[in-house]
């Protein structure tokens, strides 16, 4: 956003940052964008459980 300082809020709202969060055996893909001039919007796009033991290999299906 620092590179396009003269852009409108609606133009900047189209920009997004994607993030990956790994917590224990769960991995999550999130999308963060500007909702309005004072608020951010964070949306969870996908999540998956990663099997970490042989007993949890059923999660691969």
Span 37-50, pLDDT tens digits:
788 999 999 998 88
Q: Which pLDDT score, from 0 to 100, does residue 35 have?
A: 83
**In degrees rounded to 5, what are phi and psi of residue 22?**
-115, 115
Higher-confidence residue of 61 and 6: namely: 6
Structure tokens, 55:
């007993």
State yes or no: pLDDT of 32 exceeds 80.
yes
Tell the burial category of 61 from Cβ atoms under 10 Å away from its Cβ (0-12, 13-18, 19+).
Answer: exposed
Higher-confidence residue of 59 and 15: namely: 15
Q: 9: helix, coil or strand?
A: helix
Band of pLDDT at residue 3, cut at 50, 70 and 90: low
**In degrees rounded to 5, what are phi and psi of residue 11?**
-70, -45
Rounded to two decimals, the pTM is 0.69
């Amino acid at each position: 956003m620092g590179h396009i300082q003269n852009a409108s809020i609606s133009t900047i709202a189209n920009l997004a940052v994607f993030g990956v969060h790994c917590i224990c055996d769960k991995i999550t893909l999130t999308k963060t964008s500007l909702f309005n001039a004072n608020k951010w919007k964070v949306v969870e796009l996908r999540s998956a459980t990663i099997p970490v033991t042989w007993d949890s290999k059923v999660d691969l299906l």
